[in-house]
Chain A
């Protein structure tokens, strides 16, 4: 079962999840998971490392690495991105450097 962090919850620390994580609250620290979804009210200060997919609809300060990174129109992101596929919707506020890599999954295993 995937993890869900709601609006009323604040986490500080390192989070490792084998399944998917969806965050709508505040998080300070690094997240490593199969899939990471940051929702509207989500606010993450730390690095995100996903096996397959990262979707950002909230605010992130930190580095993101995943096969697919999707930044929606409400996303606010500052940091470095490592990805195979990157998609950005109109309206996203970004302060990023992006790098396309052939193999992201190897990065995650380290």
Chain B
């Protein structure tokens, strides 16, 4: 309990929202910052950073820039970076753009896919322009 109270003070300073262990929420969550889930959430979550703690359970789709799954995640996750902890349980697809890390002992069932970055498309556009320019020149 002592550590928990310390964490609480930290959370205020660092500035992230927290859904406690005794919490259960049904519905949508939109966060522009960091969100920590220690309770149960049913519904879709969009956040900058989402951390599902060991006691946390999320049922729904997640869209974020960084996702840490230390608890239970049922549903599809799409994010730039995904980390699954050693006690993490995932039932659903993981779609990431930059980095995926799965700790030893994690339980994952679902498709894992590295999505193409938007940057690649931009490069393609530049190539096309370059080729067109060459054609005109010739």
Chain A residues with CB under 8 Å of chain B are: 1-6, 8-19, 21, 25, 29
Please state if B29 and A2 are interface contacts (CB–CB under 8 Å): no
Q: How big is the B interface, by class?
A: 20 to 34
Question: Which chain B residue lies CB-closest to A10?
Answer: B30
Given A1-B18, A3-B19, A4-B17, do A9 and B27 touch, yes or no (CB 8 Å)? no
Alpha-carbon gap, A3 to B20, bound state (A): 5
Please state if A8 and B33 are interface contacts (CB–CB under 8 Å): yes
Chain B residues with CB under 8 Å of chain A are: 4, 7-8, 11-12, 15-33, 35, 38-39, 43, 47
Please state if A5 and B17 are interface contacts (CB–CB under 8 Å): yes
Shortest B8–chain A CB gap in Å is 6
Please state if A6 and B39 are interface contacts (CB–CB under 8 Å): no
Please state if A9 and B15 are interface contacts (CB–CB under 8 Å): no
Shortest A78–chain B CB gap in Å is 22
Question: Which residues of the partner chain B approach A1 to less than 8 Å between Cβ atoms?
Answer: 4, 7-8, 18, 20-21, 38
Alpha-carbon gap, A17 to B28, bound state (A): 16
Given A3-B23, A4-B18, do A17 and B39 touch, yes or no (CB 8 Å)? yes
Please state if B28 and A9 are interface contacts (CB–CB under 8 Å): no
Question: Which chain A residue lies CB-closest to B27?
Answer: A13
Question: Which residues of the partner chain B approach A9 to less than 8 Å between Cβ atoms?
Answer: 17, 29-33, 35, 47
Alpha-carbon gap, A9 to B39, bound state (A): 17
Question: Which chain A residue lies CB-closest to B28?
Answer: A12
Alpha-carbon gap, A6 to B49, bound state (A): 14
Please state if A2 and B17 are interface contacts (CB–CB under 8 Å): no
Question: Which chain A residue lies CB-closest to B55?
Answer: A1
Question: Which residues of the partner chain B approach A16 to less than 8 Å between Cβ atoms?
Answer: 23-25
Question: Which residues of the partner chain B approach A19 to less than 8 Å between Cβ atoms?
Answer: 20-23
Q: Which of B15, B18, B21, B28 contacts A11 (CB 8 A)?
A: B28
Shortest A70–chain B CB gap in Å is 21
Alpha-carbon gap, A14 to B29, bound state (A): 11
